[in-house]
């Protein structure tokens, strides 16, 4: 069981409060007073622990992307080589997609994480640059290598498009969770629904890339 010092608890409460508010309102509309009120902490603690609102927002971003920097599929792609078979490559498609779905919907990460990342993608500032350089660029570099193993002639634009087509439906289910669940008439995505989404995205990606069905290997 994880334990926190008083200072750590204060910082965690403020990061969660600021993250929730940023997810709901956007970073530009979040005030230090609102963070203090939601967290139940003294407004001066923001300056004491984070040096001000900018430092707090950076902490929010780093918390939101903490689950994005160590993806299982990075290791799976690193293990591939030019000698890897189509069957090997096909299995990695499932590792990528299943991993993203598990991270978004089967983990205990706060719901505001995905919303904050969505907010980041609308920005063009220091917060976005942190996310781009530490998450997006390394992830895309790994995906580019993977797609070149499937098709050595595939360019970056095509690799980017394949990556987006693979992952965007998952991210959309997180970013637009409220509206989509309302459309489904459900309070949460069921495990059966998540598994169907995984199977659909895996198979359509395999077909587009000319890879065999990993379930029949």
pLDDT digit of tens for each residue in the chain (217 aa)?
A: 444 346 888 999 999 999 999 999 999 999 999 999 999 999 999 999 999 999 999 999 999 988 776 667 888 999 999 999 999 999 999 999 999 999 889 888 888 998 898 888 888 999 999 999 999 999 999 999 999 999 999 999 999 999 999 999 999 998 899 999 999 999 999 999 999 999 999 999 999 999 999 999 8
Three-state SS at 66? coil
Q: Cα–Cα distance between 146 and 82 in angstroms, integer?
A: 10
- pLDDT score for 67: 73
- pLDDT score for 6: 64
Domains 6-64 and 72-216 share a fold: no
- pLDDT score for 198: 97
Instruction: Determine the CATH number of domain 72-216.
Output: 1.10.357.10
- pLDDT score for 205: 97
Quote the pTM value.
0.84
- pLDDT score for 70: 63
CATH second-level architecture of 6-64? Orthogonal Bundle (1.10)
Cα dihedral value 146, 148, 149, 150, nearest 10: 100
| CB 60, CB 113: distance < 8 Å | no
**Segments in the chain forming alpha helices (H):** 6-25, 32-39, 44-50, 53-64, 72-78, 86-101, 112-120, 126-131, 137-150, 156-175, 177-184, 191-208
Using CB atoms within 10 Å of the CB of residue 73, give its burial: 0 to 12 exposed, 13 to 18 middle, 19+ buried.
buried
- pLDDT score for 69: 63
Listed by start position, the domains of the chain span: 6-64, 72-216
Return the residue matching tokens 């289910």. 173
Q: Cα–Cα distance between 47 and 140 in angstroms, integer?
A: 35
């Amino acid at each position: 069981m994880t334990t926190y010092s008083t200072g750590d608890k204060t910082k965690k409460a403020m990061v969660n409060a600021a993250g929730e508010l940023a997810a709901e309102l956007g970073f530009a509309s979040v005030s230090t007073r609102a963070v203090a009120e939601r967290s139940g902490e003294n407004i001066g603690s923001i300056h004491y622990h984070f040096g001000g609102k900018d430092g707090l927002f950076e902490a929010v971003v780093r918390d939101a992307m903490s689950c994005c920097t160590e993806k299982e599929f990075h290791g799976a792609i690193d293990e591939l080589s030019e000698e890897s078979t189509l069957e090997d490559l096909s299995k990695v498609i499932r590792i990528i997609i299943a991993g993203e779905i598990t991270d978004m919907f089967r983990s205990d990460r706060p719901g505001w994480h995905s919303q904050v990342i969505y907010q980041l993608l609308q920005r063009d500032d220091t917060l976005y640059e942190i996310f781009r350089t530490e998450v997006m660029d390394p992830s895309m570099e790994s995906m580019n290598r993977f797609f070149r193993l499937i098709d050595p002639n595939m360019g970056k634009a095509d690799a980017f498009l394949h990556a987006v087509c693979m992952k965007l439906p998952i991210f959309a289910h997180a970013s637009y969770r409220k509206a989509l669940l309302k459309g489904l008439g459900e309070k949460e995505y069921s495990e059966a629904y998540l598994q169907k989404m995984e199977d659909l995205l895996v198979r359509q990606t395999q077909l587009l890339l000319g890879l065999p069905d990993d379930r029949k290997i």
